[in-house]
Amino acid sequence: MDFIHAINPLYALSGFVVGALVGMTGVGGGALMTPLLILLFGIHASTAVGTDLLYACATKTGGTAVHGLLRTVDWRVVRRLAAGSVPATGCTILALSFFDMHGHGTSRLITTLLALALLTTSLALVFRRQLLARYSERVGELGSGRISTLTIVVGAALGVMVTISSVGAGAIGVTMLLLLYPQLPTARIVGSDIAHAVPLTLIAGVGHWALGSIDWPLLGSLLVGSIPGIVLGSYVSYRLPDLVLRLTLAAVLFAVAMRLLF
Protein backbone atom coordinates (compact mmCIF):
# COMPACT_ATOMS: atom_id res chain seq x y z
CA MET A 1 0.00 0.00 0.00
CA ASP A 2 2.85 2.38 0.78
CA PHE A 3 4.23 1.81 -2.72
CA ILE A 4 0.85 2.59 -4.29
CA HIS A 5 0.55 5.80 -2.27
CA ALA A 6 4.05 6.79 -3.36
CA ILE A 7 3.12 6.67 -7.05
CA ASN A 8 2.78 10.13 -8.59
CA PRO A 9 0.10 10.05 -11.34
CA LEU A 10 1.83 12.76 -13.40
CA TYR A 11 5.16 10.94 -13.33
CA ALA A 12 3.42 7.67 -14.20
CA LEU A 13 1.67 9.40 -17.12
CA SER A 14 5.02 10.74 -18.32
CA GLY A 15 6.45 7.22 -18.13
CA PHE A 16 3.49 5.97 -20.16
CA VAL A 17 3.91 8.61 -22.89
CA VAL A 18 7.66 8.12 -23.19
CA GLY A 19 7.26 4.34 -23.06
CA ALA A 20 4.73 4.52 -25.90
CA LEU A 21 7.10 6.64 -28.01
CA VAL A 22 9.99 4.27 -27.33
CA GLY A 23 7.77 1.36 -28.33
CA MET A 24 6.85 3.11 -31.58
CA THR A 25 10.33 4.27 -32.55
CA GLY A 26 12.79 2.04 -30.69
CA VAL A 27 14.71 5.10 -29.47
CA GLY A 28 14.13 8.18 -27.40
CA GLY A 29 13.93 6.92 -23.82
CA GLY A 30 16.65 9.08 -22.32
CA ALA A 31 16.32 11.66 -25.08
CA LEU A 32 12.72 12.32 -24.08
CA MET A 33 12.50 11.42 -20.40
CA THR A 34 15.45 13.43 -19.10
CA PRO A 35 14.50 16.77 -20.71
CA LEU A 36 10.86 16.14 -19.74
CA LEU A 37 11.85 15.80 -16.09
CA ILE A 38 14.00 18.92 -16.28
CA LEU A 39 11.72 21.21 -18.27
CA LEU A 40 8.25 20.11 -17.16
CA PHE A 41 8.79 19.02 -13.56
CA GLY A 42 11.81 21.13 -12.60
CA ILE A 43 13.88 18.12 -11.52
CA HIS A 44 17.57 18.95 -11.05
CA ALA A 45 19.56 17.88 -14.12
CA SER A 46 21.81 15.43 -12.27
CA THR A 47 18.83 13.76 -10.55
CA ALA A 48 16.94 13.56 -13.85
CA VAL A 49 19.91 11.89 -15.55
CA GLY A 50 20.62 9.47 -12.70
CA THR A 51 17.00 8.41 -12.28
CA ASP A 52 16.52 8.03 -16.02
CA LEU A 53 19.59 5.77 -16.26
CA LEU A 54 18.09 3.22 -13.86
CA TYR A 55 14.71 3.65 -15.57
CA ALA A 56 16.37 2.80 -18.89
CA CYS A 57 18.20 -0.16 -17.35
CA ALA A 58 14.95 -1.66 -16.04
CA THR A 59 13.03 -1.20 -19.28
CA LYS A 60 15.84 -2.40 -21.55
CA THR A 61 16.43 -5.49 -19.44
CA GLY A 62 12.98 -6.63 -20.52
CA GLY A 63 13.80 -5.77 -24.13
CA THR A 64 17.05 -7.72 -23.92
CA ALA A 65 15.21 -10.78 -22.60
CA VAL A 66 12.85 -10.70 -25.58
CA HIS A 67 15.65 -10.19 -28.11
CA GLY A 68 17.67 -12.94 -26.41
CA LEU A 69 14.80 -15.41 -26.76
CA LEU A 70 14.42 -14.40 -30.42
CA ARG A 71 18.20 -14.81 -30.91
CA THR A 72 18.51 -11.26 -32.22
CA VAL A 73 21.47 -10.29 -30.04
CA ASP A 74 25.04 -10.53 -31.34
CA TRP A 75 26.92 -10.98 -28.08
CA ARG A 76 30.25 -10.48 -29.82
CA VAL A 77 29.22 -6.92 -30.68
CA VAL A 78 27.86 -6.39 -27.16
CA ARG A 79 31.18 -7.47 -25.63
CA ARG A 80 33.13 -5.12 -27.87
CA LEU A 81 30.90 -2.17 -27.03
CA ALA A 82 31.05 -2.96 -23.32
CA ALA A 83 34.86 -3.20 -23.47
CA GLY A 84 34.84 0.50 -24.30
CA SER A 85 31.77 1.74 -22.43
CA VAL A 86 32.32 0.12 -19.03
CA PRO A 87 35.74 1.69 -18.29
CA ALA A 88 34.66 4.97 -19.89
CA THR A 89 31.57 5.04 -17.68
CA GLY A 90 33.65 4.39 -14.58
CA CYS A 91 36.08 7.18 -15.46
CA THR A 92 33.22 9.58 -16.16
CA ILE A 93 31.56 8.83 -12.81
CA LEU A 94 34.91 9.39 -11.11
CA ALA A 95 35.27 12.75 -12.87
CA LEU A 96 31.71 13.75 -11.87
CA SER A 97 32.48 12.95 -8.23
CA PHE A 98 34.72 16.03 -8.13
CA PHE A 99 31.75 18.27 -8.95
CA ASP A 100 28.91 19.46 -6.74
CA MET A 101 26.25 17.28 -8.37
CA HIS A 102 23.41 19.44 -7.04
CA GLY A 103 25.01 22.80 -7.78
CA HIS A 104 23.91 25.26 -10.45
CA GLY A 105 27.15 24.92 -12.42
CA THR A 106 26.83 21.14 -12.71
CA SER A 107 23.18 21.48 -13.69
CA ARG A 108 24.08 23.91 -16.46
CA LEU A 109 26.91 21.69 -17.72
CA ILE A 110 24.69 18.63 -17.86
CA THR A 111 21.89 20.59 -19.53
CA THR A 112 24.23 21.91 -22.23
CA LEU A 113 25.72 18.49 -22.94
CA LEU A 114 22.21 17.01 -22.94
CA ALA A 115 21.11 19.54 -25.56
CA LEU A 116 24.12 18.70 -27.75
CA ALA A 117 23.38 14.98 -27.39
CA LEU A 118 19.76 15.61 -28.42
CA LEU A 119 20.88 17.54 -31.49
CA THR A 120 23.22 14.72 -32.46
CA THR A 121 20.44 12.18 -31.97
CA SER A 122 17.99 14.17 -34.09
CA LEU A 123 20.55 14.43 -36.89
CA ALA A 124 21.21 10.69 -36.68
CA LEU A 125 17.48 10.03 -37.05
CA VAL A 126 17.05 12.37 -40.04
CA PHE A 127 20.22 11.59 -41.97
CA ARG A 128 20.75 7.92 -41.06
CA ARG A 129 20.10 6.64 -44.58
CA GLN A 130 22.37 9.23 -46.17
CA LEU A 131 25.16 8.39 -43.74
CA LEU A 132 24.79 4.70 -44.41
CA ALA A 133 24.73 5.20 -48.17
CA ARG A 134 27.87 7.33 -48.07
CA TYR A 135 30.06 5.47 -45.61
CA SER A 136 28.86 1.85 -45.35
CA GLU A 137 30.80 0.69 -48.41
CA ARG A 138 33.98 2.38 -47.17
CA VAL A 139 33.62 0.97 -43.67
CA GLY A 140 32.84 -2.46 -45.08
CA GLU A 141 36.31 -2.59 -46.62
CA LEU A 142 37.96 -2.44 -43.18
CA GLY A 143 39.46 -5.56 -41.66
CA SER A 144 37.85 -7.35 -38.72
CA GLY A 145 40.53 -6.10 -36.31
CA ARG A 146 39.92 -2.48 -37.29
CA ILE A 147 36.16 -2.89 -36.96
CA SER A 148 36.63 -4.43 -33.52
CA THR A 149 38.77 -1.48 -32.42
CA LEU A 150 36.29 1.05 -33.81
CA THR A 151 33.44 -0.72 -31.99
CA ILE A 152 35.31 -0.38 -28.69
CA VAL A 153 35.89 3.32 -29.44
CA VAL A 154 32.18 3.78 -30.17
CA GLY A 155 31.38 2.03 -26.88
CA ALA A 156 33.70 4.39 -25.00
CA ALA A 157 32.10 7.45 -26.61
CA LEU A 158 28.63 6.17 -25.74
CA GLY A 159 29.76 5.48 -22.18
CA VAL A 160 30.81 9.09 -21.65
CA MET A 161 27.76 10.54 -23.40
CA VAL A 162 25.19 8.35 -21.67
CA THR A 163 26.73 8.76 -18.20
CA ILE A 164 26.59 12.56 -18.45
CA SER A 165 23.33 13.04 -20.33
CA SER A 166 21.56 9.60 -20.39
CA VAL A 167 21.23 10.10 -24.17
CA GLY A 168 22.96 8.34 -27.04
CA ALA A 169 22.54 4.59 -26.58
CA GLY A 170 19.54 4.47 -28.95
CA ALA A 171 19.65 6.32 -32.26
CA ILE A 172 23.37 7.11 -32.20
CA GLY A 173 24.36 3.61 -31.11
CA VAL A 174 22.19 1.94 -33.74
CA THR A 175 23.46 4.25 -36.50
CA MET A 176 27.12 3.51 -35.66
CA LEU A 177 26.47 -0.24 -35.53
CA LEU A 178 24.72 -0.12 -38.91
CA LEU A 179 27.83 1.53 -40.33
CA LEU A 180 30.26 -0.93 -38.75
CA TYR A 181 28.23 -4.12 -39.30
CA PRO A 182 26.23 -3.66 -42.53
CA GLN A 183 26.07 -7.46 -42.97
CA LEU A 184 24.04 -7.93 -39.79
CA PRO A 185 20.22 -7.89 -39.99
CA THR A 186 18.66 -4.74 -38.53
CA ALA A 187 16.90 -6.79 -35.84
CA ARG A 188 20.28 -8.05 -34.55
CA ILE A 189 21.69 -4.51 -34.63
CA VAL A 190 18.78 -3.21 -32.54
CA GLY A 191 18.89 -6.22 -30.19
CA SER A 192 22.64 -5.84 -29.67
CA ASP A 193 22.30 -2.12 -29.00
CA ILE A 194 19.55 -2.72 -26.43
CA ALA A 195 21.55 -5.50 -24.75
CA HIS A 196 24.62 -3.25 -24.50
CA ALA A 197 22.51 -0.48 -22.96
CA VAL A 198 21.72 -2.68 -19.93
CA PRO A 199 25.23 -2.88 -18.39
CA LEU A 200 25.99 0.66 -19.54
CA THR A 201 22.94 2.22 -17.87
CA LEU A 202 23.25 -0.06 -14.83
CA ILE A 203 26.85 0.95 -14.10
CA ALA A 204 26.16 4.61 -14.85
CA GLY A 205 22.97 4.52 -12.75
CA VAL A 206 24.71 2.88 -9.78
CA GLY A 207 27.44 5.50 -10.09
CA HIS A 208 24.85 8.29 -9.96
CA TRP A 209 23.25 6.52 -6.97
CA ALA A 210 26.61 6.69 -5.17
CA LEU A 211 26.73 10.40 -6.03
CA GLY A 212 23.23 10.91 -4.57
CA SER A 213 21.51 11.55 -7.90
CA ILE A 214 18.62 9.06 -7.75
CA ASP A 215 15.01 9.86 -6.84
CA TRP A 216 13.55 6.43 -5.98
CA PRO A 217 9.84 7.39 -5.70
CA LEU A 218 10.16 9.14 -9.07
CA LEU A 219 11.77 6.04 -10.59
CA GLY A 220 8.96 3.80 -9.31
CA SER A 221 6.27 6.07 -10.73
CA LEU A 222 7.97 6.21 -14.14
CA LEU A 223 8.24 2.43 -14.36
CA VAL A 224 4.57 1.95 -13.45
CA GLY A 225 3.58 4.02 -16.49
CA SER A 226 6.25 2.90 -18.93
CA ILE A 227 5.43 -0.82 -19.02
CA PRO A 228 1.92 -0.50 -20.52
CA GLY A 229 3.18 2.42 -22.63
CA ILE A 230 5.84 0.29 -24.31
CA VAL A 231 3.31 -2.46 -25.02
CA LEU A 232 0.86 0.00 -26.61
CA GLY A 233 3.58 1.78 -28.57
CA SER A 234 4.92 -1.49 -29.96
CA TYR A 235 1.41 -2.38 -31.12
CA VAL A 236 0.83 1.00 -32.80
CA SER A 237 4.26 1.00 -34.49
CA TYR A 238 3.11 -1.56 -37.03
CA ARG A 239 0.47 0.88 -38.25
CA LEU A 240 2.59 4.01 -38.70
CA PRO A 241 5.21 4.67 -41.42
CA ASP A 242 8.80 4.46 -40.13
CA LEU A 243 9.80 7.70 -41.86
CA VAL A 244 6.96 9.65 -40.21
CA LEU A 245 7.93 8.30 -36.79
CA ARG A 246 11.62 9.10 -37.20
CA LEU A 247 11.06 12.61 -38.53
CA THR A 248 8.48 13.41 -35.84
CA LEU A 249 10.81 12.23 -33.08
CA ALA A 250 13.73 14.14 -34.63
CA ALA A 251 11.66 17.35 -34.73
CA VAL A 252 10.67 16.93 -31.08
CA LEU A 253 14.26 16.31 -29.99
CA PHE A 254 15.49 19.32 -31.95
CA ALA A 255 12.86 21.57 -30.36
CA VAL A 256 13.71 20.29 -26.88
CA ALA A 257 17.42 20.85 -27.49
CA MET A 258 16.77 24.45 -28.51
CA ARG A 259 14.66 24.96 -25.39
CA LEU A 260 17.46 23.60 -23.18
CA LEU A 261 20.07 25.80 -24.83
CA PHE A 262 18.05 29.01 -24.97
Encode pLDDT of 99-150 as tens digits.
888 888 888 888 998 899 888 888 888 888 887 777 776 766 678 888 999 9
**Residue from 198, 193, 200, 192 nearest 74 by CA:** 192
* pLDDT tens figures, 67-82: 788 888 999 999 999 9
- Classified as helix, coil or strand, 40 is coil
Q: Which residue has the higher pLDDT, 1 or 45?
A: 45
**d(C-alpha 225, C-alpha 19), whole Å:** 8
Per-residue pLDDT at 177 exceeds 80: yes
pLDDT tens profile 224-251: 988 788 777 766 655 667 677 777 778 8
* Res 1: pLDDT: 46
- Residues contacting 89, CB < 8 A, separation 6+: 159, 160, 162, 163, 200, 203, 204, 207
Cβ-proximal residues to 208 (8 Å cutoff; 6+ apart), any chain: 46, 49, 50, 53, 54, 93, 214
H helix or E strand, kind and range, residue 187: helix 186-210
Helix 144-165, helix 45-69: angle, nearest 10: 140
Q: Which amino acid is at 211?
A: L
- Enumerate helices (H) and strands (E) in the chain, giving the number of each: 11, 0
pLDDT of amino acid 5: 54
Domain boundaries, the chain: 7-261
pTM confidence score: 0.85
